[in-house]
Structure 1
Amino acid sequence: MNIKEYKQTTRILVVDDEPDLCQILQFNLEANGYQVDVVNSAEEALQLNLLKYNLILLDVMMEKISGFEMLSIIRNEKKLKMPVIFVTAMSSESHLLKGFTIGADDYVRKPFSINEVLVRVKAVLDRYQMQVQTTVNNSSGFQIDAQQKKVFIGKTAIDLTRTEYDILTTLYQQPGKVYSRDDLINSIWSDQPYISDRAVDVNITRIRKKLGAWGKCIVTRSGYGYYFDAQPLATVNT
């Protein structure tokens, strides 16, 4: 997956009660290849399926549920591991410390430069992805070698077709993000018309079978699609 494809499958949620600011963020993030959704309150955000987002840009000073409170709720949900960047006018040291203590990954102070936002978004996403891959590789013996285009369990290479490899790496690169069948078809078979949903299901079944006990890391979310969950890997003996 190249940088352009990575961005096209990276979904960002903007949570801020200033519509004009949300519009600026959405326009510029989408212009840089990201998929972006916007809501104007934490209440709205918490009604969404947050598993599909790779990053949240979160205001602090909002009515009813503040950004601090929303982040606390997110960090108490084990499945919600996406990074969160506060975008806020609250920039005192005490506020910064509170945010980082709760679990913020970075801060952007209002008023902001859009270039700063873009740089911080990329840096946080890159850092998060590196942490996830290091954790998975080091804790389980499961490894994807992007240069060789191979998957290893311990020292054993798993025999995957190109399509199976592409599906697995797509899911693996963004753990927790739910991919619909259409998402996977558009990503994997973009140059082939008339690919059915069944092709996705068949390939997922084959991947799970070839991975054995590690196959449980590919999780079905009924009615939505599939996602990669690194947690089961920690329980598998290599």
Structure 2
Amino acid sequence: MGPVLEALGISLPLALGIAAAPWAIITLMILLLTPRAVSNAYAFLMGWFIGLMLVGIVVMNSPGLMNDSGEPSRLMGWIRLGMGIVFLVTSLFLFKKIPKGKDQQTMPKWIEKVDSFGIFHAWGLGFFHSTLNLKNSSMVVVGAASIARQGLTSWQELVVFLLFCVIASTGVMIPHIIFLLFRKNTELIFGKIKVWILKNRVLVLLLILIIFGGLSLYKG
């Protein structure tokens, strides 16, 4: 269990970074207020989780990540270096979007249509947020690459990455848990959470990208 726990510990910060997914959390909260709340929520979570697994499996099975001696290859270093640069460059753009004073943060137009979505659209949204969102997909890539570089067996890698995906899904699971426990007050609770996210999402993402961008460059 030693190597497994070590690999999980190394990738844990990245999983937590993925879990802090503002738009994915807001999307799920809106889905949970639709007539098909439960089915839409499960479809979203399934799409999200499958997306994480797909990206990670592709990365961990990519040739060239490890050399013949079992050590991380130069390609592995370039992946981390590239992702670090992506994180830091993205943080520069986000810095300009930090709300000042009483600036109101608005939601994108596409999210206003979420309440009319069915299970197939909900599944697609979950898959989109975990695979095509730049921050999330980049962190999955770096996390999967970090696990692959530990020299684990195939089964150990699978176990670690499954745990990685579960931890990375905690952010989007929280609204569902709130819905199940406090169904009568769901709309009120979600409203307060949404206000906080809209107010602080840029700053939170900025800090995440700077921290993980710096770490990726350092370890690359």
Q: Fold-level match, TM-score > 0.5?
A: no
In terms of fraction of residues, the more strand-rich structure is: 1
TM-score, scaled to structure 1: 0.28
TM-score, scaled to structure 2: 0.30
In terms of fraction of residues, the more helix-rich structure is: 2
